Structure 1
Amino acid sequence: MKILDKYLLKTFLTTFTTVFVILFFIFILQTIWLFISELAGKDLDFPMIIKFLAFSMPRIIPLVLPLSVLLASIMTFGDLSENYELAAMKSAGVSLKRAMQSLTVFILLLSIIAFFFSNNVIPFAEYKFINFRKNIAQAKPALAITEGQFSDVGFYNIKVNKKSGENGNTLTGITIHKKSNFGDGSKTVIKAKDGLLISNEKSSILQLVLNNGYYYEDITPKKYEDRSKMPFAKSTFKKYIINIDLSKLNKTDTNDESIANTNTMLNVSELNYTLDSLHKTFKTDVISFSENINQRIGIPKDNKLQSAKKNKKLPDNILSLYTNDKKIKILDIAISNLASTKYSIDASNTEFRLKQKNINNHILAFYDKFVIAFACFLMFFIGAPLGAIIRKGGLGLPIIFAVLIFITFHFINTFGKRISQENSLSPFMGAWMSSFILTPLAVLLSYRATNDIGLINMDVILAPFQKLVKKLFPSQK
């Protein structure tokens, strides 16, 4: 039996390693494509590119590892079944369950390693990756600007005709478009003959010193008819300094509006601590807001209104106590207070939704550490029985099945996380939804494979049609 276990383990490991390397290379190319705008045309040296890719590699593992286990399982057991090696094992008294035993132990160890990798290596790599992307422009500020084209640098679009100097810090022929705070285009244009980039690795401020230039700004008056009177403002300068805050560059979560997305940089213990703080802060904010609203609209505490009614009888229509002029003033004040309260509630509701989304993201990050470990285990018990059933190895049919199953898993996982972020589903269910849905498939395939039942029992499907045909066309004797 030990010889058989070694043979199965060697066969699986060979296939798994090959598949993992190929898929890892494919996903690395995808990463390069996603961040090509940050790498191309910025004179990055080779060590810096390698460092950039090295920090981005660990985030690929949660995608590559389960898919590699699935594909390697289908190919390994498909080859064994296609070459009648499984049949020979069964004739020797070795069941499929026994044949999978040694590989199950290996997958269990791989799942544990995947958890520790997800809990320790990936958060560290995310932290280094985020800071490295930000610090590229700090260490070499000229890398943030490309010759001959506009480069997006913070609140500015900068174009230079030529870069020179040891680190490319000396700029010639500078054109700068300053972005509007209201998102309605650029209303400020700065042109300079030359300039100098100055930075400090200990600071996130990039300083651009411009020499001998012009400053143009479109002025938008409050009244439309005054536009012809104030078309634009123009000034000249000998020296002009622009400070650019690099801390706002290269944010990791493009979908996040205002909350810092730090959940991917935390391990399980740090996430637990952070979640505890976030929950307490959120609860305190809700209580504080409710008390503030009650005080604003004048809701008394401890049933003071009821006691007041008991001491002094008040009419049902309190406005009847006042004159018409006072009634109008009271109603105007009430309408104003109502509009102000509604605006405050709407603004706070938006803020609370963002805070709840941040909490949900941290909870999802917590469960993701465990999902990747279980996904390896799940994909093995889907792939191994499926390979034994379809009896096809190689790179044909197994790849089709593996891609379809993994796309289903990844789609359900992404869908669950999205709706959990918006609080439409609990983060626990969102993180584990794909595992819960595909686990019955793993159980079904394992049962059918161990009992030598095909993938689809055609007799069960065709039997009703055969009975119908016999009733419609009875045989004549």
Structure 2
Amino acid sequence: MFIFIFQTIWLFIDDFAGKGLDIAIIGKFFFYMMPSLTEKVLPLTVLLASILTFGTLAENYEFAAMKASGISLQRSMLSLIIFMAILGGVTFYFANSVIPASEQKIYNMRRNIAKVKPAAAIEKGVFSDFEGMSIKVDEKYGEKDRFLKNVIIHEKSASNVNVTVIKAKTGELISSQDSELIQLVLRDGHDYRDMDKTKSTEKRKYPFTKTNFEVYRMNIEIPEMEQDLEEESVSNREKMKNVSRLLKDMDSLETDNRRIVQAFSKNIVYRMGAFIPLSPIDTIAVKKEKLLKPKQAASDTTQKKATPNIRPEVKEDDLETTTEMAEKEQPPVNIIDFFKDWQKIQVMNSAKNSVSNIMTSIEGKKQELDKRYEIHRRHVFSLHDKYALALSCIILFFVGAPLGAIIRKGGIGLPMVVAILLFLVYYFLGVFAENYSYKGNIHPIIGAWLPSMIMLPLGVYLTQRATADRGMMNLGNAFDRIKRLFSKKDQSEEEE
């Protein structure tokens, strides 16, 4: 836990360093971070403790005494297996109840820091991003660093173009826990704004307005720390939920995604006009047609009997003209051939524009749906990760305990190295699986269970080897075989 706390300090040092926060606030923040770190710390602790315990027992020939007394390895591990099963249940409860509460505490704490101490979001001497603008101050002083000196603000337009520059000699930040806004009061300054050019003839001109002010008040939302926090809450909010809440939100997310896709597909179909819905069949007309067909057939046969079968004479010239007329009256194969040349250009351009507009709409909707699908995948991964964490403690125990019995070493030496190497494999598998799951490269259920499923065969293999009292691999025998192989080659070369 001590090691991972230091890692967390390095990750969050930019959020707290040099921003006038009390040591108690920083300490409380890292205290709330400790439950989240348990996901990494607990598997490593179980692995290391099992290797050290069984390595010490094997080194002191305790297992030899047990076997001589008729106690097998499984029987000696029975009490610890029961303990690990209980620990797995406690771990699941911890992941389902304590970790979501700690994530919520961290979220609220960072939000309150941004509200109560808004100056903490403004670094001295550099531009700090607010929503839609950047601010730079030369000095902060006073209570909670609320007073600013030599303020420069750049405001950007919707197209991310810098259109406004505000300079003031002094400024003051006024905030409250009850308000979602921060008021920035500027004094003794200037306002420079670029004017919009509506006419095309004025595009090369760059007019602007300049305003002097004594007091200028700006209402702004919670600045950079809050904005980053909102983004993090969107991506990590699944960690703030327990199993029941995750299941409920997964169903609602899946239903919303399906509804959005169906509505968008209908919109695209109607815009294209390619699939016109069929009109319903008139069943009454169909029945009447079936009843009239026999009567009409009977009347036709009566007329044929009454009319003599006289075959008219057809001349060859009439056949030729009829054939030429039929060939002329045949419709064109391509529908575009119905139009004239100048109309063809218009039709083709219109079709091209329609297709490009539809493709732009599809690309924009695809990006939106990718984000929604990622949120759903995060929920699925978080749900199964809670179960996988509980099971991973049991699996890593069955990896560490027989491994300690095999290597027969106790203390903080070789067992520590082996435990760290195995944990690094487990940890990096989890990191890669999590990232691939979020991006949709692998199924999130597979990503959540992948590290445990890879460690499970290793645990079965090591347990079998330890039960049979075999070592991992006898490297000495392998080297001897290689030496004998090369010696045989040298002898054969000498004989030749």
| TM-score above 0.5 | yes
Q: CA deviation at 1:254?
A: 9.7
Change (3 A) 1:100 1:79: same
- State yes or no: 1:334 paired with 2:310: no
Q: CA deviation at 1:189?
A: 3.8
* Contact 1:160 1:175 survives alignment (8 Å): no
2:97 pairs with 109, 116, 120, which one? 120
1:163 pairs with 116, 136, 141, which one? 141
* Aligned match of 2:411: 394
3-state secondary structure, aligned to 2:470? coil
Provide, for residues 433-477 of structure 1, a one-character-per-residue CA deviation record: whole Å limited to 9, x for no partner.
111111111111111011111011448746864774686559x9x
2:251 pairs with 264, 271, 276, which one? 276
Change (3 A) 1:217 1:397: farther
3-state secondary structure, aligned to 2:219? strand
* Aligned match of 1:47: 24
Change (3 A) 1:143 1:393: same
* Aligned match of 2:455: 438
1:320 pairs with 311, 321, 337, which one? 337
Root mean square deviation, CA, Å: 3.2
* Contact 1:174 1:194 survives alignment (8 Å): yes
* Aligned match of 1:61: 38
* Contact 1:78 1:391 survives alignment (8 Å): yes
Q: Distance in 2 between matches of 1:252 and 1:446?
A: 47
- Unaligned residue ranges in structure 1 (runs of 5+): 1-23, 305-312
Q: Distance in 2 between matches of 1:26 and 1:266?
A: 27
Amino acid in structure 2 at the alignment position of 1:203: S
Worse-matched range after superposition: 129-138 or 140-149? 140-149
Amino acid in structure 2 at the alignment position of 1:406: F
Change (3 A) 1:57 1:152: farther
* Aligned match of 1:211: 187
Worse-matched range after superposition: 208-217 or 445-454? 208-217
- State yes or no: 1:293 paired with 2:268: yes
* Contact 2:183 2:219 survives alignment (8 Å): yes
Please list, as runs of the form range in 1=range in 2, the aligned pairs for 1:14-29 lying within 5 A after superposition. Answer: 24-29=1-6
3-state secondary structure, aligned to 1:200? coil
Provide, for residues 32-72 of structure 1, a one-character-per-residue CA deviation record: whole Å limited to 9, x for no partner.
22111222222212332222122222111100010011111
Please list, as runs of the form range in 1=range in 2, the aligned pairs for 1:165-180 lying within 5 A after superposition. Answer: 166-178=143-155
Given the two structures, how large is their TM-score scaled by the length of structure 1?
0.83
Q: Distance in 1 between matches of 2:98 and 2:464?
A: 37
Amino acid in structure 1 at the alignment position of 2:457: P
- Unaligned residue ranges in structure 2 (runs of 5+): 280-329
Q: Distance in 2 between matches of 1:287 and 1:148?
A: 51
Q: Distance in 2 between matches of 1:77 and 1:386?
A: 8
* Contact 2:192 2:208 survives alignment (8 Å): yes
Provide, for residues 194-230 of structure 1, a one-character-per-residue CA deviation record: whole Å limited to 9, x for no partner.
222111212221111111112345789899x989953
Provide, for residues 360-385 of structure 1, a one-character-per-residue CA deviation record: whole Å limited to 9, x for no partner.
11111111111111111111111111
Amino acid in structure 1 at the alignment position of 2:220: I
* Aligned match of 1:197: 173
3-state secondary structure, aligned to 2:137? strand
Amino acid in structure 1 at the alignment position of 2:170: D
Q: CA deviation at 1:161?
A: 1.7
Q: Distance in 1 between matches of 2:384 and 2:477?
A: 40
* Contact 2:238 2:382 survives alignment (8 Å): yes
Larger radius of gyration between Structure 1 and Structure 2: 2
Q: Distance in 1 between matches of 2:166 and 2:99?
A: 43
Q: CA deviation at 1:160?
A: 4.0
* Contact 2:374 2:439 survives alignment (8 Å): yes
In percent, how many aligned pairs have the same letter? Answer: 41
Q: CA deviation at 1:397?
A: 1.0
Provide, for residues 276-304 of structure 1, a one-character-per-residue CA deviation record: whole Å limited to 9, x for no partner.
00100111111111111111111234567
Q: Distance in 1 between matches of 2:157 and 2:111?
A: 23
Q: Distance in 2 between matches of 1:450 and 1:426?
A: 36
Q: CA deviation at 1:358?
A: 1.2
Q: CA deviation at 1:103?
A: 1.0
